[in-house]
Amino acid sequence: MAIRKRARLEEISAASMSDLAFLLLVFFMVASVFYVKEGLLTTLPKKDSSPKLVLRKNVYYFKILENEVIVSNVELGNKKYKDLKEFEDNLKEIEIPNINEKFAVLSATNTKIQNVVSVLGAVKSKGFKNITIQKFVQ
């Protein structure tokens, strides 16, 4: 009498496939880098806006002459920094009683945009508000 054999189903275990898929998913999530556009936000004055009168003692000027930066105010006097690094290092030592005062970044026309952006960024990062950018006529 012939013995009937039980048919065995062959199968490949797919359990580890999900591990592989999630590993890939996590790898791409961790390894991917997003480039974020950053910039210095500025609002230009309106075309027909009339200039406001401000007390001179409340205005702080940051004059940029190529690499040199001069911080000046009626009460503070003039502080001269020979380059941007020295200016950024000493910015925290400049005592300004109120960050809501008016700050004017004045740039000479031949100053590189890089230097203007560095000064503007440093001044903004200190928390100063009311900053204007102007052309400095020597």
For residues 2 and 44, which CB has a smaller minimum distance to other proteins in the complex? 44
Q: What is the helix (H) or strand (E) element at residue 68, kind and residue range?
A: strand 68-73
Distance CA 133, CA 129 (A): 12
Applying CB under 8 A, the span of 19-27, 55-63, 68-76, 89-97 interacting with other proteins comes to 19-27
Binding to other proteins by residue 99, rule CB under 8 A?
Answer: no
Asked if residue 95 lies in contact with residue 128, where contact means CB atoms within 8 angstroms, the answer is no
Binding to other proteins by residue 91, rule CB under 8 A?
Answer: no
Structure tokens at 127: 């928390």
Minimum CB distance to other proteins, residue 80 (Å): 19
Tell me the residue type at 84: L
Q: DSSP assignment, residue 56?
A: G
Minimum CB distance to other proteins, residue 75 (Å): 28
Asked if residue 64 lies in contact with residue 118, where contact means CB atoms within 8 angstroms, the answer is no
Q: Which residues bind other proteins (CB under 8 A)?
A: 14-15, 17-18, 20-22, 24-25, 28-30, 32-47, 107-114, 116-118, 120-122, 124-125, 133, 135
